[in-house]
Amino acid sequence: MNPNLKCQNYKKFSHLNFVIWISFVICVLALIISSVYTKDKELVLIYTGETHAMLYHCNCPVEPDGGVARRATLIKQLRKEYPDVLVLDSGNFFSAGPLDQNTQNTQLDMQRAKISLSAMESMKYDAVNISNDEFNFGKDFLSENINKTKLDFVSSNLSLGTVKPYVVRNVAGIKVGIIGLTNLAAERRSPDLKLIDPKQAVESSVRELKKQKVKLIILLSNLGEQEDLKIIGGVPGISVLIDGHGRGNTISDSFGKAGDTVILRANWQGRRLGKAVLGIRGDKIKKFKVEELRLSDKIGDEPSILSILPRCFSATECKKEGFIGICRNPGLYNAECSFSKAAKINLTVITTKDCLVCNPEPAISFLKKQFPGLETSYLYYPDKKAAKLFEDSKAIGLPVFLLGKEIFKEENFDKLKTKFIERDNFYLLKPEVAGIGYLVNRQGIKGKFDLFISLFGKNTLEVLNVVREFNPALHFLAVMDGNKIETMNGDAEIEEDLRAVCVQKYYPDRFWDYITCRVKNIGSSWWDDCAVKIDLNKIKSCARGQEGLALLRNNISLAKESKIMFGPTYLIDNQQIFSSKGAPAKKELKRLLKNR
């Protein structure tokens, strides 16, 4: 071979490798650069709403959380951890109104509202929505006090002084627009107030924000979730809705999603602080994580807030074990608590070691809150003394709470006496107040499992899905007097129950599928869509006649006998009884059924 040709071929090969190598390097660099520029940006939201000027922590038997001083401490910590953070409030931060548990009189409520506002200013909220409770003391009071602060107040459907329809913030390299929306109930609080249509107001604000090249739009609203969903469904471009209206102190419904909009729900009375971490790419939220941070006693009080916070507004803030507290000079700078030794009140609790679901603590906590001098002793059924006292009390189940006759002299007794039944030597706390966990006078039947439920219940489908594998006997929540039937949901529920008991009799193997199908769309009248391989005429004939009435009367007889009126309620072994808020945890249910 010609050596020159070989050399030329080698040069061509080397040149080709070099080109390939350069191309590879360019591709890798392009990918690196691309990943840098397309990496999700992180935005942190801290939010409250429906606080109702709750200045102090709650005096709850479980988790006595909340308070503006703890809130300020936690917000300060979060600002250090996340320098790029937005702190927002969805409204109803003033006192008074039907949802304010601590309302007293106009003067003290006004003072509490002012302090709530001062505390929020100290916490440096980035935007605060104006809602209906902010007008509890009139438009002039609101205007005067918000104009004294440096906070940004927003409402797109309200025209009032310094209140803006929206504000724009540049956070973490993201241009964020924050729109406010006032509940139309505000017009009833202030007759000279006129609000514009919420949807039109939001549409206008969204258009303006889009012109300003805003990437992320947050809506702070207090309309209530049903109305809020109509807004975000009809106005494209809203990335986050922070809804503060109509939510209790629960965790299960703290967030959700509707289309591309993340829905965050504020915790009532500010007992928990909402925190959402949003992963954003362009103008879309690609991922999000939501937490509710407890404002527990492990969080210290922020000194700057304590300096503006009176010692007390009422006796509620004056609690001391075994003492009765009084708030002197409530709401003033020199407010103070004074204490006197509480009178001794004897409480005897009768329970049983055989009960897996009996929990006397909530009732004891309730009684101790009312009667600070409460001294508790326990007796265990069927021991002789416990059995004798149980018989004397004429109770039907355990635990039983018996209070000494000295309770009659207590100041709180008059307002609570309807919760007690007087016996010869003591007062019995009514079972509907105390709760029952163990039905003493029922014969135990190992392996028996009964569920009492309404097909119209909010969580019925979830409950049915959890309990189905345990195959409980199902009992509906209805009351019968002769042939007259009453239910919580009227004729529609009565008809559902009658059809269900008829399906259960004639098609037991299809019963669970049928009721599960109905519960999925309980508002529909097309029940026959769920009656797969079922003779419709047979079910109609049964449900409309005496046969259906007899079946339903038999179905609900156990609920009547056990005095069960609400659900979901569970009866294990024909003796142990408990209820759940929503569906029970399957793991816990398995534990209870395993130990029967």
Residue written as token pair 């009227």: 490
Lowest mean pLDDT among 1-15, 160-174, 542-556: 1-15
Mean pLDDT of 358-386: 92
Strand order in the sheet with 420-422: 374-380, 345-351, 400-404, 426-429, 420-422
Better pLDDT: 93 or 320: 93
pLDDT score recorded for residue 550: 95
Element (H, E) at 115: helix 106-122
- 543: nearest Cα among 557, 558, 531: 531
Q: Distance between CA 363 and CA 348 in Å, rounded? A: 12
Please list the residues that pair with 96 across neighbouring strands: none
Q: Label residue 60 exposed, middle or buried (CB < 10 Å: 0-12, 13-18, 19+).
A: middle
pLDDT score recorded for residue 240: 96
Lowest mean pLDDT among 17-26, 67-76, 406-415, 445-454: 17-26
Mean pLDDT of 249-260: 66
Mean pLDDT of 316-330: 91
Same-fold call for 41-306 versus 449-594: no
pLDDT score recorded for residue 284: 87
Lowest mean pLDDT among 374-388, 397-411, 422-436, 582-596: 582-596
Mean pLDDT (the chain, rounded): 90
pLDDT score recorded for residue 9: 53
For residue 401, pLDDT beyond 60: yes
Q: Distance between CA 225 and CA 256 in Å, rounded? A: 11
- Tell me if the domain spanning 449-594 has CATH number 3.30.200.20: no
Q: Distance between CA 139 and CA 149 in Å, rounded? A: 16
For residue 117, pLDDT beyond 80: yes
For residue 147, pLDDT beyond 90: yes
H-type alpha helices, 312-383: 361-370
41-306, which class in CATH?
alpha beta
Q: Distance between CA 94 and CA 77 in Å, rounded? A: 25
Encoded tokens for 233: 């469904």
pLDDT score recorded for residue 255: 81
pLDDT score recorded for residue 402: 97
For residue 16, pLDDT beyond 60: no
Q: Are 243 and 266 in contact (CB under 8 A)?
A: yes
pLDDT score recorded for residue 251: 37
H-type alpha helices, 308-450: 361-370, 384-393, 413-416, 431-434
CA distances from 419 to 86, 289, 412, 564 (A): 47, 44, 12, 18
Which residues contact residue 595 at a Cβ distance below 8 angstroms, ignoring those fewer than 6 apart? Answer: 356
Mean pLDDT of 11-20: 55
Neighbours of 242 (CB within 10 A): 28
Q: 304-317 pLDDT, tens per residue?
A: 999 999 999 999 89
Pairing of strands 261-265, 240-243: parallel
- pTM score above 0.85: no
Residue 396, amino acid: I
pLDDT score recorded for residue 22: 67
For residue 571, pLDDT beyond 70: yes
Q: Distance between CA 439 and CA 450 in Å, rounded? A: 14
Lowest mean pLDDT among 39-48, 186-195, 239-248: 239-248
Q: With cut-offs at 50, 70 and 90, classify the pLDDT of residue 332.
A: very high
Q: 24-44 pLDDT, tens per residue?
A: 656 555 555 444 445 688 999
Mean pLDDT of 378-395: 95
pLDDT score recorded for residue 10: 47
Encoded tokens for 348: 């005897």
Q: 189-212 pLDDT, tens per residue?
A: 888 888 999 999 999 999 999 999
pLDDT score recorded for residue 26: 65
Q: Report DSSP letters for 246-288, one per residue.
A: S--S-STTSEEEETTEEEEEPPGGGSEEEEEEEEEETTEEEEE
pLDDT score recorded for residue 257: 84
Mean pLDDT of 333-346: 94
The domains of the chain are located at 41-306, 313-341, 345-439, 449-594
Q: Is 425 helix (H, G, I), strand (E, B) or coil?
A: coil
Encoded tokens for 243: 């809804």
Q: Distance between CA 160 and CA 67 in Å, rounded? A: 29
